[in-house]
Chains A and B, each alone.
Chain A
Amino acid sequence: MFKKIAEKFKGDRKYFSIVFFILIVLAVSGIVTESVINRNKGNWDSILVEKISRLQGSIKNDFDVKQKRIFEKLNIVRHDLRISLKPENESYKELVKLINNESFDNYSIEVFAPNGKLIAWNQTIAINQDELFPLSFPLGETYFLSNDLLTYLSVIDTADIQSDIFYIAISTPIEEHLTLNNQYASNISFEREISEKYQIDLTIDYSPYNERIKDGRKYSFELLNLKENKIGLVSFQKPLLNNSVNLIKETSSKIQSLLVVVGLIFVGLGLNSDFKKLNSYLFRFILVLIYLVILRALIFVFGFPTNFVTGTLSDPSYFSSPFGWGIIKSPIEFLTTILFVVLIAIQFFRYTREYLYAEHKKKTNYLGIAFALFLSVVVFLLIRAISASIKSVIFDSTIRYFKEPNILPDIPALIMNMNILLLSFAVLLAIVGVINLIFKYLNVAVDKINRPLIIVVTLVIVAITSISFYLSKEPLITPFMLAIFIALLILLYYQVIIRNRYSVYNYLYVLLIGSIISISLLNYFNTKLERESLKTTTWEINRADDNLLSFMVEETLRNIQNQNKIVDVFGDRYANYDALAFKIWGKSAMQRESLNSGIRFYDKDKNLLGEYAVGLNPDDEVFNYLSSDNLIEVVEIKSKGENCGIIFRELLSLKKEE
């Protein structure tokens, strides 16, 4: 019985059965989606409770992982401390060495003697010896330790050694209170990590004293330590029915589009045996071309892979080109397109090679000669196409291909390098294919190695390519480069078509020559870009005019005004204004754009309370410009006729200080 069924699904039938099965799944998925949406709408209240409880559980788990990790480190330090402080090998040096081990890189560890004196520490000290007592939280319980710029997850515990009690404090940064836009900033944020992971609007209060939010649109729950004591509060926006329905629709449409693509691939496989029976190379190639173009177009229309792959690979800020309505609008889209191009090029190369060596001879007529001449121009057009593509790779990208210091470049640069290599590989195969056609149309017996004729035809191709180069308005490359490329192409053609046409290494030779051509083009256009960068430098110098600076300063002030937490600081006697200035500056656009800028706080007697500035050294001249009663005023200070900066004042804040 099973055998009989298996018999029915042999050969091409199995592919069409899969396609049929996919069609059924497609229809079912539509019905299932509708029913899931209706179920969501009908039971939203219970689903909401379930969703919230699941979210709460997941967030608690994530937090517990962090807590457990800190306890693991604590146990290691305690164990090390016991070994190093044994009477027979009492060595503080060893202890310091142990806690400065690489495994503790993300932790601040402090070891206190029984009298409370700090005896060993690593990196930045999170808890000073004068801050140890009174203990903020019971021993052996995690808690949040906040200072002006950072919140740590900390734990203090003891180690009993030879009847002496040593204190170990271990802390790990969990939230940085500012975000810096540079490559060195780690920008640690548990809040952001959770928000991004669960795609929710979430806030965390790192204090055990805050009460739950009473806003009905939000849900709060307590963040407990491993001893079940409250140490913080998490609040997040309750999931909305609309968003949930949209998410279901989006997921369903992604699955359906993926099914259509898979179905189309199986249709192609199913037609493969019939396709192989076709005699005409031209017809075969046209069918391959149509199939692959339709497949790529569908993949693009369904948003594949961009909708499935998030992150740097689908980010157009690394690379994007407007070619083909966006089919290469990001590194991953470029890779997808180029894979299709490579498939087409390989088939073109194979079919033209078979055609060239096919038994039947073509009669050389004027039409054939004209077509061969036209194909010689196509050779130049293909060289120009690869040049234009690599120019776009350099100019429409923010990746600096020759400035990457690492041996292994980062993922976007790696993918782009691979794209360039595949592109040159495909173009070279296409050029070899075009030359095959030229020889065929001119009826040159390449297999009989009719040297004089081959040389003459080659020279004619070289001549037409060179003439096309000189006639082209913008050939993009230099004559020297063209000469080198043509020489390499002739060598390649000789190797892969004339000398050893069926060698398995032929594709490797194409890759090798392709890499030489692509690297030289990459280098050439990169040099051009660096020359062009002088223009960008001029733009950059003139960009920050007084309008932009006023806008940024005003924006920063308005943000301060809207944040009650910051305004409240002005009532605090012990406020650290330097840290506050740094935090405000860190969140401002001035920081993001790396402008010389700073923030200063003065009290009512014009005494400086605190500041943070980069590249500026303002004096008290600022007060000469304060005259009106405006809430915010942006004033430009001119010094010796030159614009030296923008000052601001915030009367609301100053009033709080009074």
Chain B
Amino acid sequence: MKKYFYIIIVLLSVSFSQTSNLTRKTETKKESQQDDLIFREIETGIKDANVEKISKYFGPQTYFSFSNGINGYYSNNQAFYVLEDFFKLYKVTSFNFDYIKTDKNHPHATGKYNYDNKGQRSTAQVYISLKKIGNNWIITQFTIN
């Protein structure tokens, strides 16, 4: 009887550890899927020059580094118009992320930003990194070089 009892205990503990491993893996997978979704939404936002789609991921202090001299931390309210102004000046012609790293700690993505500035067409490199604060993912760095 005792033997069966020990077997059940062992089986239960093994299954529990497996379940918890599986749950952790599923959570990690879910998080990385979430990162990917966020990056895709940001990508669409940039492609359509739609700041509203991107602004929901601005944190209280988002770091912007743009080729037009914008460089520093901006509050989420300010960041909205700073980005909108940039999109007005450098009209996006096409944009795609060519690399997305969905990492638990440092998810980031890079892509090519093709734009038209007063009739001059050119390309810039974009780097965006995310961070999870509480339950929300926020953009910590937004670079357009």
Contacts and interface: CB of A to CB of B under 8 A. Distances in A.
Q: Do these two chains really belong together in a complex?
A: yes
B106 interface: yes
A539 B71 contact: no
Contacts of A326: 81
Contacts of B41: none
Contacts of B82: 316-317, 320
Given A395-B75, A396-B78, A398-B74, A201 B120 contact: yes
A555 interface: yes
Interface string A529-543: 000000110011001
Interface stretch (B1-9, B12-20, B137-145): B137-145
Interface stretch (B21-29, B31-39, B62-70): B62-70
Contacts of B118: 199, 201, 243
B65 A589 contact: yes
B140 A543 contact: yes
Given A237-B119, A539-B73, A545-B106, A319 B78 contact: yes
Instruction: Name which of A201, A397, A551 has the most chain B CB atoms within 10 A of its CB.
Output: A551
Contact of A548 (B61, B72, B75, B127): B127
Contact of B140 (A242, A539, A551, A589): A539
B119 A243 contact: yes
B78 A593 contact: no
B129 interface: yes
A593 B65 contact: yes
Contacts of B141: 543, 548
A555 B106 CA distance: 19
B110 interface: yes
Interface in A211-240: 237, 240
B125 interface: yes
B80 A539 contact: no
A322 B63 CA distance: 19
A322 B77 contact: yes
Given A320-B77, A326-B81, A536 B61 contact: yes
A330 interface: yes
B78 A551 contact: no
A317 B78 contact: yes
A540 B120 CA distance: 34
Interface string B80-94: 111011000000000
A268 to B, nearest CB: 30
Interface string A436-472: 0000000000000000000000000000000000000
Interface string A419-440: 0000000000000000000000
B30 interface: no
Contacts of B65: 589, 592-593
B81 A320 contact: yes
B74 A317 contact: yes
A535 B140 CA distance: 13
B101 interface: yes
Contacts of B84: 316
B74 A551 contact: no
Contact of A551 (B60, B61, B127): B127
Which bucket holds chain B's interface residue count? Answer: 20 to 34
B129 A548 contact: yes
A395 B76 CA distance: 10
Choose among A242, A243, A395 the residue with the greatest number of B CB atoms under 10 Å from its CB. Answer: A395
A589 B61 CA distance: 20
B28 to A, nearest CB: 18
Contacts of B110: 551
Contacts of B143: 548, 551, 589
Contact of A237 (B60, B73, B120): B120
Nearest to B70: A317
Given A199-B118, A237-B120, A539-B140, A555 B125 contact: yes
Contacts of A539: 61, 63, 73, 140
A315 interface: yes
Interface string B42-70: 00000000000000000011010100011
B119 A201 contact: yes
Contacts of A543: 63, 140-141
A561 interface: no
B49 to A, nearest CB: 15
A321 B71 contact: no
A121 to B, nearest CB: 34
Nearest to B101: A547
Contacts of A240: 119
B70 to A, nearest CB: 6
A251 B75 CA distance: 34
A315 B81 CA distance: 9
Contacts of A330: 81
Contacts of B81: 316, 320, 322, 326, 329-330
A242 B75 CA distance: 38
Interface in A325-349: 326, 329-330
A181 interface: yes
A97 B145 CA distance: 46
B111 to A, nearest CB: 11
Contact of A320 (B78, B108, B145): B78
Interface in A573-598: 589, 592-593
B106 A547 contact: yes
A593 B72 CA distance: 8
Interface of B: 60-61, 63, 65, 69-75, 77-78, 80-82, 84-85, 101, 106, 108, 110, 118-120, 125, 127, 129, 140-141, 143, 145
18 contacts: A181-B69, A316-B85, A320-B82, A321-B78, A326-B81, A329-B81, A396-B75, A396-B77, A535-B60, A539-B61, A539-B73, A540-B63, A547-B101, A548-B108, A548-B143, A555-B145, A558-B125, A589-B143
Given A316-B85, A317-B85, 13 more contacts: A243-B119, A317-B74, A317-B78, A317-B82, A320-B77, A322-B80, A392-B77, A539-B61, A539-B140, A548-B108, A548-B129, A548-B143, A593-B65
